[in-house]
Amino acid sequence: MKQILVTGGAGLIGSNLVRHLNGLGETEITIVDNLGKGDKWKNLRGLRYKFYLEKEELFDFLEENNTFTHVFHLGACSSTTENDASYLVQNNYHYSVNLFHYSNEMGARFAYASSAATYGNGDLGYSEKIPVSNLRPLNAYGYSKQMFDEYLLQNNFLDRCLGLKYFNVFGMGEGHKGDMRSLVLKGYKQIKETGKLQLFQSHKPEYNHGEQKRDFLYVKDAVSMTIGLAFANCSGIFNIGSGIAETWNELARALFKAMNKEPQIDYVPMPESIQSKYQYYTCASMEKWQKTGLPGPKYDLASSINEYVKALNEDNL
């Protein structure tokens, strides 16, 4: 039986990862998170795990409990609009550095969440082959993730761990994320309440309204890919995406169809505060993934939205 530590284990990816591990028969799991005063605790319901810790308790705990075989470090401040860079450095960088060294000393397999936000505006592409130091993230969150990637690279630690550059992940378990919820969930609630969905207008002439593109990935695929790489003892940085760029309009039409409603889309101005930080196109290069021989994503955008909407309906959200 594996001994597994999951930080961010009550979050979107983390809680679904624990559920997937449970399906594989793994229950010797310690979850670490920061539940706060919101509804994130609800994501823990139905999961089988051995112990729960708040994030500030972890390092004292590891002084006495150092037999983990696998560490999935998914906990972080993931807000792309967070402007307290000092907080992001402490929470996303220093915490990660410390946990990596604890994991390394234990001999545990260390997998951690990087982010597609490290690629910035995408002018250099979205390949893991791009030197990390050449990337220019558009926000402080993306830079905090790049800092940790660089730390591992410069100290020759990447061969001892697995970095995961998640693209636009969505699915059950994101209700606590506030403004960082996916458009699928935001749109589901908008359509239920108003019958319409709002999308940002484009502020670049080469993109029509709603034709900005993203690499969308269902959370079930994100966790199966993560676990597949970790249990295959892969190392280095990998993109975790679908490898397909689809427009917000395509997502909107799929969402309206899943909800059995006619599309009604309002295009609204993008707030000036995010215009300079907005990614108009993302698409993961999946060449490195394909070389592993592991199965890729199972769900396309329409089928994942259909399943998600069904789950939301059943949950009365």
Catalytic residues: 141, 177
Strand runs labelled E in the chain: 4-7, 29-33, 51-54, 70-73, 109-113, 161-166, 168-170, 197-200, 213-214, 216-218, 236-240, 246-247, 265-268
The DSSP symbol for 6 reads E
Asked if 51 and 31 count as a contact pair (C-beta separation under 8 A), the reply is yes
Angle formed by the axes of helices 95-106 and 140-154, nearest 10°: 30
Q: What are 100's two structure tokens?
A: 């990596």
Amino acid in the structure at residue 156: N
Q: What are 73's two structure tokens?
A: 């470090």
Q: Would strands 29-33 and 51-54 be described as parallel, antiparallel, or unpaired? A: parallel
Asked if 199 and 252 count as a contact pair (C-beta separation under 8 A), the reply is yes
CA-CA distance, 201 to 205, in Å (whole number)? 11
Query: b/e for 270-305, b at 16 or more Cβ within 10 A?
Result: eeeeeeebbbebbbbbbebbeeeeeeebebbbbebb
Q: What are 46's two structure tokens?
A: 């139905």
